[in-house]
Chain A
Amino acid sequence: MTPTNLAILATIVGAVVLFGAATVLAMGWAVRAGQFENFDRGARSIFGPDEPVGEPTDAFPRETD
């Protein structure tokens, strides 16, 4: 194995380990801290009484009126 290939392999393995560990830690923290709660409400937060779920809010302007 040439030094270059070794360096490349080391980079990939290192990156996967580091990224993986960071992801696992972050996920663990997020779940514990309740970051994953109330998602449905989050998704619906852009709707309101006047523009409720189920009503399209945009259309081509009518040319003749």
Chain B
Amino acid sequence: MGVTLTPPTPADRAQAARERREIDSSCRGPVLHYAASAVAWLLVGTTLAVVASVKLHSPYFLTGSEYLTFGRVRMAHLQAVGIGWSAMAGMGGACWLMCRLSRATLLYPKLLHVAAGLWNVGMVANVLGILAGHGRSVEWLDSPPYVAPFLVASIGIFSVWTAATFVRRREPHVYVTQWYILAAVFWFPVLYLVTVGMIFWVRSTGVMQMVVNWWFGHNYLGLWLTPMGVGAAYYLIPKIIGRPVHSYYLSIIGFWALALFYSWAGIHHLIGGPIPAWLATASTVGSMMMFIPVIAVAINHHMTMLGSFHVLRYSPALRFTVFGAMTYTAVSFQGSIESLKDFSEVAHFTHYTVAHAHLGAYGFFTMVMFGLFYYMIPRLTGREWFSARLISLHFWCDAVGISIYFVSLTVGGWWQGRMLNDPNVPFGNIVEYVRPYLFTRSVAGCLMGVGHVAFALLLVANLAGWGRKRGIGPAYFVAPAGKPAAGEPAPV
């Protein structure tokens, strides 16, 4: 208590800095393992994405290879970015955040190396298996049957270890980020087991598999990625600008509303489908209620940022995070609206939905993870990012790329849907109509790919020790040009 009432003495500062360095270094190995693997999967996933995207408008591209037929590449892409990049980035970040926020060192880091290794083995089998023709065409769960054991074992270790770190906490206050992480590491394993069980092992009848499928597909985003993304933003934004979160009440209400309503929203993916009508309605209600947690988070982040927007100029981590946080609001509003019957009627079977999915998984989640990495990695390796220009390049490629992506598929997809709904429009016209939009999407995808390569370069350089050493002062990062960072000796 009274953290800022009396100015801390230099000895206090040094002590606090030493403690945090200790915590950071205790989890350095596994966190970097997760982070580097995640970025590797991001590159794999991006490559697959571009191949699939080009094939949609130029069907002769690489058409000779059965391993690279559109359907397989499409499945492998989703697994690589969804289960490879997103989950591993989230887990790496969650591990670090949990240690820091609990003010506890990570015990037996080797165990988490094993977990990350298992996940990687599972992912290699997953992507190669799908390309070899073992994919299963259950959206989000395309992985071949031999993959699940690896993922389950890995997440089992990870979840238990995250909970164990939390139990060992020395910080009496449980910060809102910890709420999200703790809930997520509980939700995901249960969700995954129940789903795989009910689709592949118990073999529910016909449409029931689809109900479970979309309950999973939506909850994978809602109860696994979103809590990690929102949780990370709740830490990063206040921490970077040096200002407590606007309303702690609001953040707690947002958490519980998300827990309750997001898990009810999934079945709106089957509106108009052959399922009991009440089921789709229940999910529409859940989706509409999502306005509550989303508005809570939006207000909170905006009010925290208010008056500090100029920091966006200086901090790469903040720029990515705020971009992601703002997109979260936008994509969630859009998602709630899409669950309405009249809207879904047009957008459902089209690229409009693809645009929405990427706005969520990329514009929001991936951007926040980039922000997290920009903040976290230098503090773990003790090295500065070696090129501000590359960071800039990364940001602008991604921000512009996802914007072009979203606009082109949203517009093209919407009219695709309107035309599909008019039987007087021949099917061929629709196929021809969407082609330029799909081409634009490929261009956007390449742009995002350039950003990812820039990011991977930065990461490799940082891990290889090419960056400038960070100062050893308590507040680590370099100051905006001219001003010395706190604790760092002023440049002579």
Which residues of A are interface residues toward B (Cβ below 8 A)? 4, 7-8, 10-12, 15-16, 19, 22-23, 26, 35-36, 38-63, 65
Q: Are B238 and A43 in contact (CB under 8 A)?
A: yes
CB of B183, distance to nearest CB on chain A (Å): 15
Tell me the nearest residue of chain A to B101, going by C-beta.
A46
Q: Tell me the interface secondary structure of chain A in the complex.
A: loop
Q: Which residues of A contact B186 (CB under 8 A)?
A: none
Q: Are A10 and B3 in contact (CB under 8 A)?
A: no
Counting chain A CB atoms within 10 Å of each CB, the highest count among B249, B260, B277 belongs to B277
A48 to B348, alpha carbons, bound, how many Å? 49
CB-CB contacts below 8 Å: B367-385 with A: 374-375, 384-385
Q: Which residues of B contact A43 (CB under 8 A)?
A: 238, 244-245, 248
Tell me the nearest residue of chain A to B257, going by C-beta.
A23
Given contacts A15-B285, A55-B475, contact A7 B278 (CB under 8 A): yes
Is B477 engaged at the interface, CB distance under 8 Å to the other chain?
yes
The tally of CB-CB contacts under 8 A between chains A and B is 156
Q: Are B20 and A50 in contact (CB under 8 A)?
A: yes
Q: Are B17 and A50 in contact (CB under 8 A)?
A: yes
Tell me the nearest residue of chain B to A58, going by C-beta.
B315
CB of A27, distance to nearest CB on chain B (Å): 9
The residue that A65 contacts in the complex, of B15, B317, B468, with Cβ under 8 A, is B468
Q: Are B277 and A55 in contact (CB under 8 A)?
A: no
CB of B204, distance to nearest CB on chain A (Å): 21
Q: Are B238 and A58 in contact (CB under 8 A)?
A: no
Contact with A along B252-263 (1 / 0, CB 8 A): 100010001000
CB of A45, distance to nearest CB on chain B (Å): 4
CB of A42, distance to nearest CB on chain B (Å): 5
Q: Are B240 and A56 in contact (CB under 8 A)?
A: yes
Is B281 engaged at the interface, CB distance under 8 Å to the other chain?
yes
Q: Which residues of B contact A38 (CB under 8 A)?
A: 173
Q: Which one of B62-70, B154-162, B386-394, B403-411 is at the A interface?
A: B386-394
Q: Which one of B6-14, B187-195, B212-220 is at the A interface?
A: B6-14
Q: Are A10 and B245 in contact (CB under 8 A)?
A: no
Q: Are A63 and B285 in contact (CB under 8 A)?
A: no
A50 to B7, alpha carbons, bound, how many Å? 10
Q: Which residues of A contact B479 (CB under 8 A)?
A: 59
* Known contacts A8-B281, A60-B391; 15 further A-B pairs (Cβ under 8 A): A16-B285, A26-B256, A36-B249, A38-B173, A43-B245, A49-B3, A50-B474, A50-B487, A51-B16, A52-B8, A56-B311, A60-B314, A61-B384, A61-B385, A63-B389
